[in-house]
Chains A and B, each alone.
Chain A
Amino acid sequence: MKRYRYPSIPESEVTPPELFESRRRVLRGGLLLGAAAVAPGLLWPRNVTAWQGELQRQLDAGLPTVDLAGGEAPTSFRDITTYNNFYELGTGKRDPEIYAHQIVTDPWSLTIDGEVDKAGTFALEDILKHQDLEERIYRLRCVEAWSKVVPWTGFPLAELLKRHEPTSRARYVVFESIHDPDRLRGQRRSVLDWPYREVLRIDEAMHPLTLMAVGLYGESLPNQSGAPIRLVVPWKYGFKSIKSVVRITLVEERPLSSWEERNPEEYGFYANVNPEVDHPRWSQARERRIGESGRRETLMFNGYAEEVAHLYSDLDLQRHY
């Protein structure tokens, strides 16, 4: 006769307490977030496609184009939008395109707070109304040694920050991405500590090359490219150019950015493109330009040394990578 065996749950099936707790946190956070999202809508009902309307109005008017990629042809729209790192939607290169619909961009508001005189939460259309958009063609270099040439539409971050009047204590600018684990499949796994966070020095943030992008190839940003609004810092590795930004906070003390927190040896705070400082696991001397065969030499500061090298003249770039 077979002995009766008590059914037991294997250790692997038991929800770890951190995860259990985090679920509660997420639920609580979700409720709060939901309430925060609904409340303004109840108070000030507005057209949900408001920001697209404002963006389209400017795009239709025709925008000036500034080529800052040395006359190189932009990478194809298809390549730009089907080979992405956007871990909120999964860690595969095609995941962001496949799961792009999981990002809800309507309505979108941006909180600007911390060391600014004019803090608050602003509907994206209200932010766009005050900005003159332009098209800028930039090189984009990923820390994984691939690169693209991208025609962004956007406005300098400096203009936005100035309008909100940073105080004298504002030394760093912290950016935060969308946090929506109920919808974003990638945020249900703790590959990174969500929400994604990036940080710039105030002088980097105020640099005229630093862009807030809302468009790609003359249209609104596809979700996988960081819709509806994202940062673009062309002389730094791509992970600094945070996508789908919901909050910009000016601070005096520098918090860690997401990748720096994950692995400080590999992803420094500055993350300036530098062919002479290798990633601990691979070389940064060369890059693969998407859509091209062969490899190219990586340029110092991704080819923007003339514009930005002076920001780091007193830094040892081998140490402050």
Chain B
Amino acid sequence: MDQRTAINLFRLLVLVASSAPAFWLGWEWFFGDLGAVPGEAVVHFTGKTGLILLLATIAISPAFRFTGWVGFMAARRQIGLWAFFWLVAHMLAWMGLDQYWDWPWIRREMVELPYIRYGVAALLLLLPLAVTSFHRVRKAMGWTAWHWLHRLIYVAAALGVTHLWILTRADYLLPTLFAVVLAALVLFRIVEAAIHRQ
């Protein structure tokens, strides 16, 4: 298999893996299999999927360093945009299925509840990253500026994990898992940067 085919196949795999959860969710919703409170199930599912994809986006660069395969880098923007899609869906699901578009309450919860604030902040940080993901914008910005801006993904991911951590009641297994993965990825980047400087 030549390089180009391999990359295309990988991109197809990313497409399928990132969109399949949406089909699954739609199926479960349609057949009433999301439990007694389907709205809550949708909010939780979209949030977890988004956070996993966000961490996957961050993991792309280490995966490339370890394997040297350019296919990873070719699919990074795609995965990042899918993460953004799922997290926007998460926010909309919260607004519609959890808060029932009750705007005064949505505003109040955004102002008063720390975990909502962190979640909103993470999305606001991801917005410029999504907007500057186009080739033309990236070129116009210049590589250095673009690179620096896109480091915001680490801040957004940290806010996302914090958001999940705060709203957890007693079982910290999942947020701990996310936190450990994020910490490992950040550590990798720091070590890598240090090595490069030498």
Contact = CB atoms under 8 A, between A and B. Distances in A.
Nearest to A294: B100
B42 to A, nearest CB: 13
Contact of A83 (B36, B108, B170): B36
A282 B35 contact: no
A281 B166 contact: yes
Interface string B2-43: 000000000000000000000000000000000111010000
B102 A295 contact: yes
A82 B36 contact: yes
B114 interface: yes
Interface in B69-109: 99-100, 102, 105, 108-109
Contacts of B170: 87, 91, 191-192, 262
A83 B169 contact: no
B154 interface: no
Main secondary structure of the interface of A (DSSP, over half): loop
Interface string A76-88: 0011001100010
Interface stretch (A42-50, A150-158, A227-235, A283-291): A283-291
A118 interface: no
A295 B40 CA distance: 13
Contacts of A293: 39, 100
B178 interface: no
Contacts of A146: 37
Interface residues on A, range: 20 to 34
A191 B112 CA distance: 28
A288 B98 CA distance: 9
A83 B35 contact: yes
B100 A144 contact: no
Nearest to A290: B36
A164 interface: no
Contacts of A91: 169-171
A191 B174 CA distance: 13
Contacts of A291: 36
Of B35, B39, B100, chain A has the most CB atoms within 10 Å of the CB of: B35
Nearest to A12: B180
Given A282-B113, A283-B109, A294-B100, A144 B169 contact: yes
Interface in A263-310: 281-283, 286, 288, 290-291, 293-295
Contacts of A282: 113, 167
Contacts of A82: 35-36
Interface string B153-196: 00000000000001101110100000000000000000000000
A94 interface: yes
A93 interface: yes
Given A144-B169, A191-B171, A283-B112, A83 B37 contact: yes
A78 B171 contact: no
Contacts of A283: 108-109, 112-113
B105 to A, nearest CB: 8
Contact of B114 (A192, A281, A290, A294): A281
Nearest first, the 10 A-B pairs at minimum CB distance are A83-B36, A91-B171, A79-B36, A191-B170, A294-B100, A191-B171, A290-B36, A82-B36, A94-B35, A83-B35
Given A83-B37, A293-B100, 19 more contacts: A78-B36, A82-B36, A87-B170, A87-B171, A93-B36, A93-B37, A144-B169, A189-B171, A191-B171, A192-B170, A262-B170, A281-B114, A281-B115, A281-B167, A283-B109, A283-B112, A288-B37, A290-B36, A295-B105
